[in-house]
Chain A
Amino acid sequence: MKRRRKREAKTTRKLLYVVERDVRLFFQYKVMVIMRAIWFVSQIAFFGLIASRMVAVEDYFRYYVGGLSIMTLYSAAIFIGFDIYEEAEHGVFEYLLSLPVTRRQLVLGRSIGGGLRAFIYVGPLVCISLYVIGIVNPLNFLLALFSLFLFAFGVSGMSITLAVVIKSSDRFDILMGVLDALIVRLSTAMYPLSFVKEANPLYGWIANFNPVTFAADLFRWGAGIEAALSFENPLLPFLGIVMFFAFFTFLGIILYDKTIEGGGWR
């Protein structure tokens, strides 16, 4: 029993070290971090302010700020996939694979690390959003934050999965651009679901099951932006995010194990 507990503690510690590495690494890309923060603030200060004057949706500015936070979280969590290519290029991948950590610890740690660093990064930006939006119900907001946590892990798990499967940084880059267009644009990050459905029922159907929609609407619900929410029961998007997180984390572990073990990533 004691030995088992000791082994579990050791396993957890190793997992945390993998998480720590990815978090620290992200913030070493100082220029990128600063540029993205500038982008975020500019989007609110220019696009949000200007667009809200020409859009007929009630309280669109606050609506947009909520969606923008999720879009930023999404793009920061995706970044881990690019790290994988960077590491492959510098041979760091081989190094990571030679370490006394299991492949599961490695992919789970990286998935959590990728999500956590995106969350930490978006944290101050979310604070800006909250300053703009204001919080109505702190309890709701905590649940929304937790689901955003899972959303970020899910996105980073998805990014890792795609990176190890695609094996080409150029193709990955293109795919991420396309995916960004599909996932973010066909969600409620920038416009309410009713408008999406109105444009095309198929778009509406996709947006309805899109994890970005779940995250954006939960965030708005948590922040008290009740106008134009796409759900009545917050449990549904929450479950959607849990499923998204679980799917990509476990798929990531399996694919990572199968693809990476044995040098298949080469």
Chain B
Amino acid sequence: MPPIIRTENLTKRFGNFTAVDHLNLEVNEGEILGLLGPNGAGKTTTILMLATVIRPTEGTAYVGGYDVRKNPDKVRELLGVAFQEPKLLWVSTSWDVVNWHAKVCGLSTQERKRRVREVLEALDMWDYRHRSVHALSGGMRKRVEIAKVLIQRPKIAIVDEPTAQIDIVGKHKIWRMLRELREEGTTIILATNELYEADVLSDRVGIMHRGKLLVCDTPQKLKDSIVGGDIVEIQFESDPSPKIVEELEHFREVVKIIKTKASTLRLYLNRVEEVVPKIMSTLMKEGVAVSSIRMSEPSLDDVFAHYTGLTLEEAQKEGG
């Protein structure tokens, strides 16, 4: 199946500043693609180009087979966007905002009423629907913004930092609703600078930095791509013999072994979930007693650091 979104050298320059630099990206139908990167990485500019709000300086993008330059009207028919900053006029009420959005996106009266109520209730916003936007908290405004897309159920949903400023319970609700949206057939682009959000929601994650897409794959493969990124710490009941250390070194996945304490070995390896059972069976065969084993795999922060040389926090500071 051809990708539902494909960008070809998509570039946006604002004067001398290149916000997005020759971006080549493919999004498959029905997936959640996380765009992970610090502020200023080019995620929002990419989104605005895909949504035909701004025109690329160079290159183009195909959304649902339509060129964003040549058929912007057709592209917009397929999209629903929840922006990073809630786009609301302060005199409007939440109800006005979502109800009008549903109307203009072509929902029938009955469907509109049902979905507006359903989504506002699910987001705990029903009781506040007649309050003007200026009386709502930042988190509530953000909920109204995401509600627009959840009500619309577009073919392609673009959500830019959907849970920023939202409490943890609200975050989980929104994540669940986004997953449900995907199950109903919507392809989702999730732009975020929250590692956990990208990890738990995305089928694939694209890491952006300074306008470039550095890498794009499943979270697991990205983590596995860090050679020796997984760590296993084995505490033996007595000092491990050199023969045991040698045998462990023979595993293809093991990159490095450090003896941290007299009876503890730290193994830097790949694909921890596959290799640990093999290690355990070797140790059992050799009759070596193990008192504890601790595993950890790299986070997306490690992946980001691996590809950029910076932690996400450092990159955030750099991007302002």
Contacts and interface: CB of A to CB of B under 8 A. Distances in A.
A186 B18 CA distance: 49
Contact of B89 (A10, A20, A87, A100): A87
B81 A98 contact: yes
B106 A10 contact: yes
Interface stretch (A69-77, A88-96, A116-124): A88-96
A73 B103 CA distance: 29
Contact of B85 (A24, A91, A261): A91
Given A97-B53, A98-B76, A98-B81, A17 B104 contact: yes
Given A98-B79, A99-B104, A261 B72 contact: yes
B83 A94 contact: yes
Interface string A98-111: 11111000000000
Given A29-B91, A94-B48, A99-B76, A18 B104 contact: yes
Interface string B98-115: 001101111000000000
A122 B91 CA distance: 21
Counting chain B residues whose Cβ lies within 8 A of the other chain, the interface size class is 20 to 34
B211 to A, nearest CB: 16
A245 B150 CA distance: 39
A92 B104 contact: no
Given A17-B100, A21-B100, A262-B54, A94 B106 contact: no
Interface centre among B87, B92, B132 (most CB of A within 10 A): B87
Nearest to B81: A98
A237 B248 CA distance: 95
Contacts of A20: 100
Contact of B96 (A24, A100, A266): A24
A100 B92 contact: no
B55 A263 contact: yes
Given A262-B54, A262-B55, A25 B92 contact: yes
A90 B87 CA distance: 6
Dominant secondary structure at the A interface: helix
Nearest to A30: B91
B12 to A, nearest CB: 9
B174 interface: no
Contacts of A99: 76, 101, 104-105
B52 A28 contact: no
Nearest to B84: A91
A17 to B, nearest CB: 5
A226 interface: no
A262 B12 CA distance: 10
Contacts of A262: 54-55
A14 interface: yes
B85 A17 contact: no
Contacts of A94: 48, 53, 83, 87
Contacts of B103: 17
Interface string B41-52: 000000010011
Nearest to A99: B104
Nearest to A21: B100
A125 B83 CA distance: 40
B83 to A, nearest CB: 6
19 contacts: A17-B100, A17-B103, A20-B100, A28-B91, A90-B89, A91-B87, A94-B87, A97-B51, A98-B51, A98-B52, A98-B53, A98-B76, A98-B81, A100-B73, A100-B105, A101-B76, A261-B72, A262-B54, A262-B55
Complex A-B, nearest 3 residue pairs according to Cβ-Cβ distance, in ascending order: A262-B55, A263-B54, A95-B87
Interface of A: 10, 14, 17-18, 20-21, 24-25, 28-29, 86-87, 90-92, 94-95, 97-102, 261-263, 266
Given A99-B76, A261-B55, 18 more contacts: A14-B106, A17-B104, A24-B96, A25-B92, A29-B91, A90-B87, A90-B89, A90-B90, A91-B83, A92-B87, A97-B53, A98-B53, A98-B79, A99-B105, A100-B73, A100-B105, A101-B104, A263-B48
